[in-house]
Structure 1
Amino acid sequence: MLTVLGMAKAVADSNNDNQGGFATDSSGITGFSHMHDSGTGGASSLGNFPLFANPGCPGDDINQCVYRFQNRSVSFSNQTLVAQPGYFSIDLATGIKGEATVTNHTALYRFTFPKDATTAPMVFADLIDLPQSRTNGTASVDPDSGRISGSGTFSPSFGIGSYDLHFCADFSGADIYDTGVFVNDRAGNEPKTVHTLNDGVNDNESLSAGAFVRFKAGTSSVIARVGLSFISVDQACSNAEREIAKFDFDSTKKAAQDVWRKKLSVISIDSTGVSADVQKVFWSGAYRAMLSPQDYTGENPLWNSTEPYYDSYYCIWDSYRSIHQLLTIVDPVSQSLMIRSLIDIYRHEGYLPDCRMSLCKGYTQGGSNADVLIAEAYLKNVTDIDWKTAYEAVVKDAEVQPANWAVEGRGGLTSWKSLGYIPTDDFDPYGQGLLTRSVSRTVEYAYNDYCIASLAKALGHSNDYHKYIKRATNWQNMFDANTTSLGYTGFLQIKYANGTWGYQDPQLCTPLLGFPDCYLNPGGHETYEGSLWLYTFYVPQDMASLVTTLGGRDKFVDRLTYFHNSGLLYVGDEQAFLTVYLFHYAGRPGLSAKQAHTYIPSQFNTSVSGIPGNDDSGAMGSFSTLSMMGLWPIHGQDVYLINPPFFKEVNVTHGVTGNVATIRNVNFDPTYESIYIQNVTRNGKTWTKNWIEHDFFEKGGVLEITTGGAESSWGTAAEDLPPSLASYTF
């Protein structure tokens, strides 16, 4: 069965800005590779064993061709670019048209050569990956069939360890002229196998190697089929032979696009009056949010299991805020398989991951945020989960510190349990990790424990519920009522183990001050990818207390408005998402709608820079799509904040029940001036709460939202605000 979450994700690789393979503002193409992670930050990922096609070597001399990655880049025309779900095409300056489509474990390419070429066209496979991390590699070519196969050992782009990957490339549609291998920019017809190894002298910068096939002069096109496997070359070949038996490019493309149409068809919109650009933002966001995590079931060499195995959780710190919430709505079956995969990783690795890619453990950026996804899955009735083991896993995160908490679990648990916060000068001889991010880890640990408490309550573990709900209030232990910034008083602040306060400028790590400095590094600041301004707002479990702590409703709204309008906030990082909608908790849902319409389309649009920051496997896409649907999910909770959709109507078909949930904007204004909710009905009955639960998607029904040009009293009363540990006092 073909799925959109499969391993193979084929595209041309550009020579810079290539985390996901291709970028329109790059200057050249270095090959077509078969696996990618979408929109990641930091180093590039995957892109192993690229195929490079050329119309022929000058004078038909194989030593006159250019093989090395650093030298072979070919320019292209964006005017010829076609990028669709399930299909990619680009014309190169060499006169070659490259097209790509996929099945689950196999990439299929069609290379069309110039009609007037008089030399033997060539396709070669390079033992390289996008981050140039290869340590060992082998490629062989069969002189009779032209099959190129091989293996390599590579490093993940944001984690520890290494992984082995295998490929099997077959060609159809042309007669073979000759075959051979190359090393750097020299090639020969013998031998038929080339090896690279980690010799301490050469690396990918100084040693390029692979195998080639040349086809007879006059060849018009070649179909290249590349099977992939983490298990073996034999399995890579069998994957390809099983999934694409006939080398039929057009039917394979059609099958891939049919799968995407079916996947996206669970959402429909009434786009009357809406510009094509706005629609592109909506649909491209939904598409990108469905690319990862990727289904590697049957391709995990690390352990034997009958459970699904998903990879490219890149990273849960990014995806737990919106990607999995969108998947739970539009594809609950896949979300169930992903949760089961996380639990099975716990069974065999000992901890839930907070990031994972290419069979490797990825770096933990904050809390143990798989806890959030598991609790939310239970609350939203995601089925077929082993809840006993799931609960065991989240409790271990909260109670048992791993030896290396840089890649799993939590650090500083002794201080967390005894002091109720992570001290900036934490003494932690019980495990290893970056002794930074004390503030951001504290607020994330507090929310992780809140989610564990919610799951404990649902499963009947009353003692655990009381323990973890108490820990959920630990954010208060790092709130300093005396810290000031830009005319506002009271912020989270760094704190030492003896209870005294330190100082970090609340503006630090904002676009206004030291913005690039707060990423994963050993000498970093005490907040991660964000400021004290930002993290002070992160109390989704107890917003009523936070509103009170920050001076009450009016002062909270004033501060939050300033935060958005002053340049302090960068919406291209995932922690920013929730702040767009926090006005709901202060009884001003209209301001949430206003803020969402400010960022869409000013930051989210169809320009080259229209995805702010890294897409992080679709995080930015899920933000824009969920925002435009009109129901913003609070991660880890059964809560959706109600906002007017960006369309006259949005319909979502539940993937299990088949019921249709309709969000209808009764007085829809395509100029987006009348965006303030006046009243709401659910299935014809008055609905005053400014939030709704997941059963709306499961049961289906109609949520009718009437909008106007000014804020109203709808959703403003204390009893209509979203759940909070404390009661609202206004």
Structure 2
Amino acid sequence: MRAALLFLVFSATAVSGKSNYDLIDPLIGSVNGGNVFAGASLPYGIAKAVPDVSGANTAGFSLDGSNITGFSTQHDSGTGGNPSQGQFPLSLQPACEGGELEKCKFGSKYERAVNYRPGSVEAEPGYFGLELGSDVGVEVTTTEHAALWEFDFTNHFGKDTVSPLMLLDLTDLQDSRQNASISVDAETGRMVANGTFLPSFGVGSYQSFVCVDFKGAGVRDTGLWVNERGGTEPKELFVNRGYSLFYIQAGGFVRFHKPENNVLQARVGVSFLSSEKACHNAKTEIPDWNFNRVRAEAANAWKEKMSTVSILPGGANESIQRTFFTAIYRTMMSPQNYTGDNPLFPAEELYFDSYYCTWDSFRTTFPFLTIFDPGTLSQMITSLLNIYESVGWLPDCRMQLCKGYSQGGSNADNVIADAYVKNLTNIDWSLAYSAIRNDAENEPFDWGVEGRGGLQSWKRYGYIPVFDYDTQGFGPDYHSISRTLEYAYNDFCVATLAAGLGETADAEKYLQSSGNWHNLWKANQTSSIKGNNTGFIGFLQPRYANGTWRYQDPIECSPLDSFCSYSSNPKETFEDSIWEYVFFVPQDQARLMETVGGKEQFVRRLDFLHESGLLDISNEPSELVVYQYHYAGRPGLSAQRLHSYIPSSFNASHNGLPGNDDSGASGSFVAFAMSGLFPVAGQNVYLISPPFFESVSYTNAITGKTATIRVTNFDPEYKEVFIQSARLDTEVYTRNWIGHELFLEGKTLELTLGREESDWGTKEEDLPPSTSPDGSMEGYEAMF
């Protein structure tokens, strides 16, 4: 015990120079397509405030050098496609030319955009600041549902007369506004607005409400503006899309006298319920207008969350540490906690939103929360079940109270199964089983936004045919290969929960159908790149309902061909190639290896995928294939591959992500990888690799128990990345995977490393579990 206490003390003091919080850099991934939210937020908070830019503005701000178009208080993080939220941005002009209202700039946000000074940007959890080219300093911090902006004119004085004009723009980042209303109080300058907007990746619309108060300067005049003109009368306005859907630029304004202490504050409350609730949120959460207090409380909220993880760096450089802790930080951007601010549910019902999308996040994001923040994850799963009870289906993608597009299977099934096998508490598992069984048995009318399509064919043929004849519902009539693979794994997850709850007949039924992936295997299919045969035979191929084959080049949708998104360039695989999807059989790796010709051929295929340029490490399906050497008894090769991607593709630079963070999906992948583990989501399996530090420890906030992954001879140059031996507490440990008991029981996994592959984790009994090749229940229980 004394030795353990000494280790914990040493571990804590080893990083005391810079705490976990101090090592977070929200600007990592803010350029080059990472699309991370770089502004101020609380963990899972609704209010996410940051200046918006005219360039890569998917998450509001980017360090791409483009101009500032406004200051908005709601965003999403790490998404692709259209920018999300950013509704009701404020816009500042230090003064209007000649002091004349007619010479103020109204109109489009892009025409009013201003530059910011390079090198002036500062970002930390709960805070963001920069300096505009007009010498006005801008800072912002947030609570759960409100933001406090400060505009400092100290450096601007002396250039011209300061009479700040603040506009509120009835728009959002993607200019999706359908209609909006605003009123301006002539005495106080309070602006209250609401509007109807469209989600960035879904159907329907949502209403958003805002309330803005000001402090620090007297009101000079107020009014409204439409397109290029503004006036002091009237004080209320309603606007829709306009004549022939022409987008009308409109909003309200307040012009101030010179700020008394050179600082003008704007307090912004937001809500999805009402303008009154938005005003209430702001007044309740920021009653004193104390910027330093709000900023300190935001910092403390992040510090509390980050306190459950600690490292002993062992010489790992600060850049590596920043990469790790920032990756963890990004896992708490979404989903956002809308509980109590949701017009669809009673106030007391748990409700999280902004699932972008479960297809991306089931693999590592939710599994990471099982070890890092299990209490919040239990709330998220209860929220998923509340959505199921309300709308009849579990969501695959959801944002701003709207149904999002399903990208493949019913992947909330995987999230629920993963939580079950890892013993999460405070979840109604009977209801959970009803929800995921509903996905497996019933087809919704619009399976493009929920559930699964083609279930008649799935049950009849054992795969999703090309051009499936579906009379029960409608959805995107493609992705037949990737949907088949995902439905198979969804069924495996349904079987897992069924077995755990004693539904034996269902468990056997869905375990059988989890082998349906094999029905798309074409044994004589070859693959070529630029006319050169790759030398590999046997690939997945699309198949018609009559059993005949259709051809899709195995390299299509890879980096060597073209990107295949949801609706642009759709193919039979979604966002990745057949070469990649061959390996997505997490439940049945033993049979997959037999199918491709054995372990050696399996390893050769993995090597070719990684070395040929076919693999896109920025996309989530590529994450598991980094580790799949484990199943062939070559865990050292997994570690070697991992170090080829970190830090080359994932690092602490501002362009330190190879693609979209996907609401923390990339962040959680990095956090796991640097901790020395990778989760096989839906199974009680973590694949073991050496951590990037001498030790990494996670303390369960519910049980108080601490799990540690430690290296006895850590090499900060990462030349020794091959595990030679392992011990679990005091016992020799030979398996190349471990279960969640590591975290539930607070164990220590100790690894000894070397420069060459060893025989550790290579024996048949040391390999991760797979379902039996004949589809029976034998060996199945080991997987959960």
- What range describes the TM-score normalised by the shorter chain of this pair? over 0.9
Cα deviation for residue 115 of structure 1 reads 2.6
> 1:305 Cα shift?
6.0
Aligned structure 1 segments of 4 or more residues deviating by more than 4 angstroms: none
Unpaired runs of 5+ residues, structure 2, are: 1-40, 528-533, 775-784
* Match of residue 241 from structure 2: 198
Match of 2:749 in 1: 703
1:421 maps to 2:463: yes
Map Cα deviations across residues 378-413 of structure 1 (whole Å, 9 max, x no partner).
111111111111111101100100000000000000
2:5 corresponds to which residue? Answer: none
Match for residue 345 of structure 1 among 387, 406, 410: 387
Q: State, as a whole percentage, how many aligned pairs show the same letter.
A: 50
Q: CA deviation at 1:288?
A: 0.8
Q: Give the equivalent residue in structure 2 for 1:560.
A: 606
- Report what 1:138 is aligned to: 181
Contact 1:173 1:222 in 2 (8 A): yes
Query: What is aligned with 1:80?
Result: 120
| CA distance in 2 between partners of 1:702 and 1:62 (Å) | 68
Q: Residue 678 in 1 paired to residue 719 in 2?
A: no
Q: Quick one: which of 755, 759, 767 aligns to 1:721? A: 767
Deviates more, 1:155-164 or 1:622-631: 622-631
Match of 2:364 among 307, 319, 322: 322
Equivalent pair of 2:218/2:258 in contact (CA under 8 Å):
no
Q: CA deviation at 1:64?
A: 1.6
- For 1:39, the aligned partner's letter is G
Q: Distance in 2 between matches of 1:54 and 1:687?
A: 65
| Within-5 A mapping of 1:91-490 | 91-113=131-153, 114-116=156-158, 117-204=160-247, 207-217=248-258, 219=260, 220-304=262-346, 306-485=348-527, 486-490=534-538
Residues 89, 97 of structure 1: 8 Å contact kept: yes
Shift of 1:727: 6.6
Deviation at 1:3, TM superposition (A): 5.0
* 727 and 433 in structure 1: CA distance in 2 versus 1, 3 angstrom threshold: closer
From 537, 543, 546, the equivalent of 1:495 is 543
Deviation at 1:302, TM superposition (A): 1.8
1:90 aligns with 2:130: yes
Q: Which amino acid aligns with 2:118?
A: N
SS at match of 1:78: coil
Q: Cα deviations across residues 661-718 of structure 1 (Å, max 9, x unaligned)?
A: 1111111111111001001111121111111111211211211111110110000111
2: distance between equivalents of 1:492 and 1:608? Answer: 38
Given residue 104 of structure 1, which amino acid in structure 2 is its aligned partner? E
Cα distance in structure 2, aligned partners of 1:421 and 1:328 = 32
Q: Which amino acid aligns with 1:531?
A: S
One-letter code of the match for 1:11?
A: V
Cα separation, partners in 2 of 1:229 and 1:560, compared to 1, 3 Å = same
Please state whether the residue corresponding to 2:304 is helix, strand or coil. Answer: helix
How far did 1:172 drift?
1.2
Tell me what 2:557 maps to. 509
The DSSP-based 3-state class of the residue aligned with 1:178 is: strand
SS at match of 1:580: helix
Deviation, structure 1 residue 202? 4.6
**CA displacement, residues 313-367 of structure 1 (integer Å, 9 cap, x when unaligned):** 0100111111111111100011000000000000010100000000000000000
1:596 aligns with 2:642: yes
Q: Is 1:519 equivalent to 2:565 in the alignment?
A: yes
Deviation of 1:726 after TM superposition, in Å, equals 2.1
Q: Distance in 2 between matches of 1:143 and 1:684?
A: 73
Equivalent residue of 1:602, what SS?
Answer: coil
SS of the equivalent of 2:647 reads: helix
Shift of 1:26: 3.4
Quote how far apart the aligned CAs of 1:300 are. Answer: 1.2
Q: C-alpha separation between the residues in 1 aligned to 2:442 and 2:718? A: 50
Looking at structure 2, the residues matched to 284 and 330 of structure 1 have their Cα atoms a distance apart, in angstroms, of: 14
Give the unaligned 5+ runs of structure 1.
Answer: none
Q: Does 1:49 align with 2:91?
A: no
Q: Give the secondary structure class of the aligned counterpart of 2:48.
A: coil
SS of aligned partner of 1:487: strand
Deviation at 1:63, TM superposition (A): 2.4
Structure 1 Cα separation of the partners of residues 118 and 457 of structure 2: 55
Contact 2:676–2:690 under 8 Å retained in 1: yes
* Whole-angstrom CA distance in 2 between matches of 1:523 and 1:260: 41
Partner residue in 2 for 1:574: 620
> Which shifted more, 71-80 or 595-604?
71-80
Aligned pair partner of 2:677 in 612, 627, 631:
631
Matched residues in 2 for 1:625 and 1:14: separation? 29
What is the TM-score of this pair, normalised by structure 1?
Answer: 0.97
Alignment RMSD, CA only?
Answer: 1.3
- 1:366/1:440 contact within 8 Å kept: yes
User: Larger deviation: 213-222 or 397-406?
Assistant: 213-222
- The CA deviation at 1:255 is 0.3
Question: Paired residue for 1:652?
Answer: 698
Equivalents in 2 of 1:282, 1:271: separation in Å? 11
Aligned pair partner of 1:545 in 591, 594, 598: 591
Contact 1:36/1:45, CA 8 A, preserved across alignment: yes
Q: Is the 8 A contact 1:491 1:536 kept in 2?
A: yes
How many residue pairs match? The answer is: 723
Shift of 1:16: 1.5
Aligned-pair distance for 1:633? 0.7
Q: Could you tell me whether the CA contact under 8 Å between 1:24 and 1:78 is conserved in 2?
A: no
Q: What's the TM-score once normalised by structure 2's chain length?
A: 0.91
Q: Is the 8 A contact 2:309 2:697 kept in 1?
A: yes
Counterpart residue type for residue 510 of structure 2: Y
Provide the C-alpha distance between the structure 1 equivalents of 2:740 and 2:102, rounded to a whole number of angstroms: 63
Residue range with higher mean Cα deviation, 651-660 or 412-421: 651-660
Contact 1:63 1:185 in 2 (8 A): no
**Secondary structure at 1:576 match in 2:** helix
AA of the residue aligned to 1:102: T
Contact 1:58 1:119 in 2 (8 A): no
